[in-house]
Amino acid sequence: MEKKILLTDCPDDKGLIAKITNICYKHQLNIIRNHEFVDRQQGRFFMRTVLEGIFNDIIFLEDLDMALPQGAERQLVSAGRKRLVLMVTREPHCLGDILMKGYSGAMDVEIAAVISNHPDLAGLVQKFDIPFHCVPTEELARCEHEQQVAAVVDEYRPDYLVLAKYMRILTPAFVTRYSGRMINIHHSFLPAFIGARPYQQAYERGVKIIGATAHFVTDHLDEGPIIEQDVIHVDHAHSAASMAEAGRDVEKLVLSRALLMVLQERVFIHGNKTVVFK
Amino acid sequence: MEKKILLTDCPDDKGLIAKITNICYKHQLNIIRNHEFVDRQQGRFFMRTVLEGIFNDIIFLEDLDMALPQGAERQLVSAGRKRLVLMVTREPHCLGDILMKGYSGAMDVEIAAVISNHPDLAGLVQKFDIPFHCVPTEELARCEHEQQVAAVVDEYRPDYLVLAKYMRILTPAFVTRYSGRMINIHHSFLPAFIGARPYQQAYERGVKIIGATAHFVTDHLDEGPIIEQDVIHVDHAHSAASMAEAGRDVEKLVLSRALLMVLQERVFIHGNKTVVFK
Amino acid sequence: MEKKILLTDCPDDKGLIAKITNICYKHQLNIIRNHEFVDRQQGRFFMRTVLEGIFNDIIFLEDLDMALPQGAERQLVSAGRKRLVLMVTREPHCLGDILMKGYSGAMDVEIAAVISNHPDLAGLVQKFDIPFHCVPTEELARCEHEQQVAAVVDEYRPDYLVLAKYMRILTPAFVTRYSGRMINIHHSFLPAFIGARPYQQAYERGVKIIGATAHFVTDHLDEGPIIEQDVIHVDHAHSAASMAEAGRDVEKLVLSRALLMVLQERVFIHGNKTVVFK
Amino acid sequence: MEKKILLTDCPDDKGLIAKITNICYKHQLNIIRNHEFVDRQQGRFFMRTVLEGIFNDIIFLEDLDMALPQGAERQLVSAGRKRLVLMVTREPHCLGDILMKGYSGAMDVEIAAVISNHPDLAGLVQKFDIPFHCVPTEELARCEHEQQVAAVVDEYRPDYLVLAKYMRILTPAFVTRYSGRMINIHHSFLPAFIGARPYQQAYERGVKIIGATAHFVTDHLDEGPIIEQDVIHVDHAHSAASMAEAGRDVEKLVLSRALLMVLQERVFIHGNKTVVFK
């Protein structure tokens, strides 16, 4: 008996749940968990179905394709381990958290490699016997640098590329190359405090809450579909530096939670939003 | 076009989702929202299906009954307003919150009556033109008092009976009479600090968190299926009294959230637990 | 024995705590609670001292003035009940919460009057035997309308003016008139989604968190010193309307908490920020 | 200029803040931060004073001793790095979090050694070049085993001993030896679910919240003064195993926060409670 996840994303139509679950039943696949959502404004249907049984993928998907409306996307994926490449700069908190969760099995991932534009985090990565690639930016045009990075990434054929505090802006070309597969943690509560030195901005504004946002990177670095957000409380006694320190805790928490959702195939991209079946 | 909610609670079986949604499709009922859960340890299946269309309840339920396994419970309920009777003693915070939410429409209820063993809250209730019944306990045996209370309750035929800080222990006879329809807010984080003066107990133990628990009342007052829980942080500067004050905020929040879930037919009782489709 | 609160706000200097507490000791005033904060970047000292004893205010303050540096502000206030005037438009949730907390004693206030630009909430206010003044905007220039409102406000000489979902922009003249005494609840997580229809904006952006901000109103309506902020989680299943509904719960919570802090004299305005001694 | 922290814990008396801060002023020590609390029921005064200046510890403390009442305890400690010994069994999540925070500087500690009754975590500890001591329990009486553990601990002279998921009950003799210096993370929300298999207990009870408690270990393993507690929400879809998984996240969070407070000398033990100046 195998376990697979069926992901359906299609125009809404009458009887979709019945049609899809009928085909599962006909194939003697047991439904372990089923989540469904219809965006009625946009007329779009999303369903995540965890199945158990003996799969004949080709015939099952052919049967599905006959039942689903035009414009349907469907995937039958295995529930197992995913492969990540991480991109970092100098800050160890998000990287360290993912390394540790990968090591302990709390996150079911193979961390294939870590790429950085600085050498600082090599020592930490090597402790975990994971390849570390430093691709320095010096004397390189932005697109040349990105080509070098992409060459390293592609060598590892990751399922997802995680920007775990990669502090360099990426060009649309790079972003498009990994569209829907690249996840970023943003160091503040979007859409507030976009841009440089967000904790300094937050400090100057006297906010009582510091947040973080994990999102897919699509066209623009900080504006892709949001997967997860959270906040922590701060007060007048926090300096900009201690706000940043507090922010690091929430950043790593939010990135980890978002990654878990993505790795378990719980996240659909829906225009500039996400559907997350928790 | 009408909107109704189908609630299915039955032994787990293959193809249940397909069977049920087929019948909906055959009756041309559109599925607006569908939540499903299987307790695999206990082999029990729960599904909440929000339907839109033109209903022929009798034939629809007959069709369902033929498809569902032995021991299935199913209900087709309208999504509309529910009728409550509230029971209180002296504290106004939970009562006031429900009165206000009913008044403003934030909670879709008809508050049919408020019953108390003390006269203190009559003034508050009458502001909202709702009948207030004081059933004092003096000179009455416990079961006599409860019979008087039950007589008042039954006059209003409520969908649910809400113990909004009713501070008197109820007998099994009373509890059984309203089994599955009576909701209590417990003034602590169950199962900690069961019994009298929970905030004093919490203060003496030096806890850093105060909680509240909303639950169905079944056999024993504080041990029924939990619907909702939450907490707030306290510290060394809190006295037992200020812990109680803080506790009131979380009590009313938790009771309101639990009620909303129940009123929207999102809660199944499952042995001594609940399944809550949020 | 009386209880009073000494609020000191002055340029930082060596030995300030010693100097101030010496004077308290000399006057045989017992310090019940003391909170102190120094903004070292700005060189500003803040202290809130809860005192118990027999007060000779004039001599005590003279002694203090000799000890404190140039530019010091100090106030000796009684810890008792404050008087509020509330301003509202059509939404009852924040108003209802404050009315109920005032009624039950959870908030130690006298709600002197409620002023609105619409008649909708008259019924709710009158249940609590509080004067309701409708000052309609029709056929009035903005400044004329504000003059009429100010005339009503001033009649009641409130300690604080609370904008409990007053949905009209105020002119700098009005704002200045009540500077440091006017508190607003903003219907989103500042500084994101400033402007019209914030929940629609939040929905379109696909955020996973909805927030609220309580702040003093100074120069510009939404940019004064923040007192309190909080958030609640939302997901893809929320419409703009259900985000607004969820937002209402956090709005009333945040406004209540901010008010409690202000009423207990725990809040100092410090430039465009606040110091809040919780 | 040095920075030190003065910790005062004494019977309450009039003028204590004035007396203490006078002595600081006389010694030309600048008060950076001051927190004070009086437990008026017990008549006990607590103050934490962060001082900057040139210290003559002996004379300063002599001056203090003359000013403080009988039974006063006071300490003048440096604000710097503390030395820890960690005790673990098999679970890596709390250990990994502390190792990473020590490595990155997020926690200002020297992790002198890790001791375990099992060899499983040796590999993780050695990545960070920290001595790992396995003291197996086989063929040893409980007190013999503890003597061997204590011998290893004492070799490193730690400021604090941290039970980071050490799953063995300790005898009163061992507990007394490190009284006030040993911190434990309890795998549930105390005082609920004391004892074995707390997540199984929580699952069976159908709770909607999972918590963790960090506390000093005094007489009995799970009943010492609580430093920090927090919770996360769970629902019907959690098995006992996934509750435990969720619990791990909150356990490491709570232990880290408690340790930070202790390491920064913000925690006083007060009978069976704590005073924590955040």
Mean of all residue pLDDT scores within chain C: 93
D205–chain B nearest CA distance, Å: 7
Same domain, D124 and D177: yes
Same domain, B155 and B267: yes
In the chain, the amino acid numbered D231 is V
Q: Is C129 on the interface with B (CB under 8 A)?
A: no
pLDDT attached to residue D142: 93
Strands D132-134 and D109-116: parallel
Strands A132-134 and A109-116: parallel
CB contact under 8 A, A276 and C236: yes
Omega cis (within 30) before B191: yes
CB contact under 8 A, C104 and B127: no
Same domain, C92 and C60: no
Which residue bears the tokens 């859960």?
Answer: B37
CATH number at residue D164: 3.40.50.170
Residues found in chain D: 278
Q: What is the dihedral of CA D115, D121, D126, D127, to 10 degrees?
A: -140
CB contact under 8 A, C231 and A235: no
Looking at residue B184, the DSSP 8-state letter turns out to be: E
Strands C109-116 and C82-88: parallel
CATH number at residue B47: 3.30.70.260
Catalytic residue among D13, D39, D159, D222: D222
Last residue of a domain, one of B46, B78, B110: B78
Average pLDDT over residues B96-112: 96
Which residue bears the tokens 């980890």?
Answer: A256
3-class secondary structure, C108: coil
Q: What is the dihedral of CA B253, B257, B260, B262, to 10 degrees?
A: -130
Strands C109-116 and C73-78: unpaired
Partner B, chain C 104-123, Cβ-Cβ below 8 Å: 104, 106
Which regions of chain D are under pLDDT 50?
none
Distance CA A277, CA D51 (A): 51
Distance CA C71, CA B110 (A): 59
pLDDT attached to residue D196: 74
The CB-based long-range contact list for D75-78 (8 Å cut-off, 24+ gap) reads D75/D6, D75/D7, D76/D4, D76/D5, D76/D6, D76/D7, D77/D4, D77/D5, D77/D7, D77/D265, D78/D2, D78/D3, D78/D4, D78/D5
Q: Which secondary structure element, helix H or strand E, spans residue B32, and what is its range?
A: strand B30-39
Q: What is the largest CA-CA distance in chain C?
A: 63
Distance CA A81, CA A265 (A): 11
Q: Burial level of A236, CB count in 10 A (0-12/13-18/19+)?
A: middle
Q: Is B241 on the interface with C (CB under 8 A)?
A: no
Q: Which residue of B has its CA nearest to C235?
A: B278
* C203 pLDDT tier (thresholds 50, 70, 90): confident
Q: Is D49 on the interface with B (CB under 8 A)?
A: no
pLDDT attached to residue A6: 98
Size of interface B-D (CB pairs under 8 A): 83
State yes or no: pLDDT of B52 exceeds 50: yes
Taking a C-beta distance cutoff of 8 angstroms, is the pair B210, B192 a contact? no
Domain that holds residue C29: 2-78
Q: Give the N- to C-terminal CA distance of chain B in Å, as an integer.
A: 25
Q: Which residue of C has its CA nearest to A237?
A: C37
- Show which subunits contact D, needing at least 3 CB pairs below 8 angstroms: A, B, C
Same domain, D91 and D44: no
Q: What is the dihedral of CA A112, A118, A123, A128, to 10 degrees?
A: -10
HEC letters along D108-173: CEEEEEEEECCCCCHHHHHHCCCCEEECCCCCCCHHHHHHHHHHHHHHCCCCEEEECCCCCCCCHH
Same domain, D71 and D115: no
Q: Which two tokens stand for residue D267?
A: 């925690």
Catalytic residue among A159, A222, A230, A249: A222
State yes or no: pLDDT of B21 exceeds 80: yes
Q: Which ranges of A27-170 does DSSP label H, i.e. alpha helix?
A: 57-67, 93-104, 122-127, 142-156
Q: Is D21 on the interface with C (CB under 8 A)?
A: yes
Q: Burial level of B3, CB count in 10 A (0-12/13-18/19+)?
A: middle
pLDDT attached to residue A1: 87
Q: Which two tokens stand for residue D104?
A: 């990155």
- b/e burial code for range D186-195 (CB count within 10 A of at least 16 → b): bbbbbbbbee
Last residue of a domain, one of B58, B78, B98: B78
pLDDT attached to residue D230: 93
Distance CA C269, CA C180 (A): 7
Q: Give the N- to C-terminal CA distance of chain C in Å, as an integer.
A: 25
Same domain, C130 and C158: yes
Q: Is A215 on the interface with D (CB under 8 A)?
A: no
CB contact under 8 A, D103 and A96: yes
The answer to whether residue C222 is catalytic is yes
- What are the helix and strand counts (H, E) for chain B? 8, 13
3-class secondary structure, A64: helix
Same domain, D57 and D168: no
Mean pLDDT by 10 residues, chain A (278 residues): 96 95 96 95 96 97 96 93 97 96 95 98 97 95 96 98 95 93 82 72 87 87 85 93 90 95 97 95
Q: Is C54 on the interface with D (CB under 8 A)?
A: no
Q: Is B228 on the interface with D (CB under 8 A)?
A: yes
pLDDT attached to residue B204: 86
Same domain, D124 and D41: no
Q: Which two tokens stand for residue A251?
A: 């950043």
Contacts B18 to A, Cβ<8 Å: 18, 21-22, 24-25
State yes or no: pLDDT of C83 exceeds 90: yes
Positive or negative CA dihedral for B29, B35, B41, B42? negative
CB contact under 8 A, D229 and B206: no
Distance CA D36, CA D13 (A): 13
| Distances, alpha carbon B9 to alpha carbons A97, B70, D166, D176, in Å | 41, 11, 42, 54
3-class secondary structure, B19: helix
Q: Which residue of D has its CA nearest to A125?
A: D127
In the chain, the amino acid numbered D264 is Q
| Distances, alpha carbon B180 to alpha carbons B100, B184, B258, C148, D141, in Å | 25, 11, 14, 55, 52
- b/e burial code for range C9-21 (CB count within 10 A of at least 16 → b): bbeebebbbbbbb
* C190 pLDDT tier (thresholds 50, 70, 90): very low
Distance CA A98, CA C226 (A): 35
C87–chain A nearest CA distance, Å: 25
Domains: count for chain D: 2
pLDDT attached to residue D129: 97
pTM for this model (two decimals): 0.94
Same domain, C59 and C146: no
Mean of all residue pLDDT scores within chain B: 93
> Going edge to edge, which strands form the sheet with D132-134?
D132-134, D109-116, D82-88, D160-163, D182-186, D209-216, D226-233
Last residue of a domain, one of C78, C101, C129: C78
Q: Is C68 on the interface with A (CB under 8 A)?
A: no
Looking at residue B164, the DSSP 8-state letter turns out to be: S
Q: Give the N- to C-terminal CA distance of chain A in Å, as an integer.
A: 25
Same domain, D25 and D133: no
pLDDT attached to residue A190: 47
Omega cis (within 30) before A191: yes
Closest partner residue to D104 among A96, A103, A128, by Cβ? Answer: A96
Which residue bears the tokens 């006959």?
Answer: A66
| Distances, alpha carbon A238 to alpha carbons B116, D91, D105, D254, D276, in Å | 48, 34, 18, 20, 17
List, as one string, the DSSP characters of B229-253.
EEEEE--TT--HHHHHHHHHHHHHH
State yes or no: pLDDT of C221 exceeds 60: no
Contacts D100 to A, Cβ<8 Å: 92, 96-97, 100
Taking a C-beta distance cutoff of 8 angstroms, is the pair D263, D105 a contact? no
Average pLDDT over residues B123-150: 96
Same domain, C163 and C240: yes
Q: Is A90 on the interface with D (CB under 8 A)?
A: no
Distance CA A83, CA A97 (A): 16
Same domain, D46 and D69: yes
List, as one string, the DSSP characters of B86-123.
EEE-S--HHHHHHHHHHHHTSS-EEEEEEEESSSTTHH
Cross-strand pairs, B9: B46, B73
